[in-house]
Amino acid sequence: MFSFQDTDHPVSEPLEYETFGHPLDNSLYYNYIQLSHGDGYVNSISLRLFNEWKGNASLYIFIIPSYSDNTISYRYAINPLRNTTEWQTIKIPSYALTVSLGYLLAIGMQESSGSGINQIYAVKSSTGISAMNINENTTVFMTISDHTTGVAFSYTAIYNSRRIFY
């Protein structure tokens, strides 16, 4: 089991996987419980794909201010490992992906992979939020609150020289 936790206390219970994945094409997902606790930068992203990665499209990390009306303020492209459905961690260069107090990180794609098979594991969670029809020009999106599932995604951020796990 994988758990989200910081250096002082657990943020949530260990993940319980569903038997399906959320499709990533033209969509984004986030777990509201992973709200940023300060100003800093993302050090790494951890995720678990439901299927092996197909196609040449990038996976994106979206920065979303929680106080906004579902606005994407920044996007950062990453390339997941292709031949695995196990947890993988992708390192982010220092200060390349900054995050501020009250911001959320979402994961998804702003295009179609062409295969429709790229998916991320769904997990039992009451804090999962999603949005569809995301493309490179999307700045404002409509959310869908699932109330039963989230995504197998976490991140590590550095705040004041302290590493926090979400």
Spans of all domains in the chain: 20-165
Using one digit for the tens of pLDDT, what is the confidence trace for 1-33? 344 443 333 444 567 888 999 999 999 999 988
CB atoms within 10 A of CB 81: 14
> What does the pLDDT read at residue 134?
96
Pairing of strands 98-99, 40-47: antiparallel
Rounded Cα distance, 149 and 135, in Å? 23
> 57, exposed or middle or buried, with CB in 10 Å at 0-12, 13-18, 19+?
buried
- pTM above threshold 0.85: yes
Residue 114 has pLDDT above 90, yes or no: no
Using one digit for the tens of pLDDT, what is the confidence trace for 54-78? 988 999 999 999 887 899 999 999 9
